[in-house]
Amino acid sequence: ALAWLWSVDGVRPSSWDVAGVAVTLAGMAIIAYQPRT
């Protein structure tokens, strides 16, 4: 979504946008890489 925002719409992502991506990816990693028992 950020790549689309930057390349197509011509809007440079803010630091809050990048922070949101980092939080989202961290949440995904917690869910995807949790130990399975």
Assigned token pair, 11 = 């809007």
| pLDDT of 14 strictly over 90 | yes
Question: Rounded to a whole number, what is the largest CA-CA distance in the chain?
Answer: 46
Backbone φ and ψ for 12, nearest 5 degrees, come out as: -75, 130
Residue 27: band (very low, low, confident or very high) from pLDDT cuts 50, 70, 90? very high
Q: What is the spatial distance between Cα 22 and Cα 15, in angstroms, rounded to a whole number? A: 11
The pTM of the full predicted model, rounded to 2 decimals, is 0.71
Q: Kindly state the percentage of the chain with pLDDT values over 90.
A: 86
Assigned token pair, 17 = 């946008």
- Mean pLDDT calculated for residue range 19-24: 96
Q: What is the spatial distance between Cα 35 and Cα 20, in angstroms, rounded to a whole number? A: 25
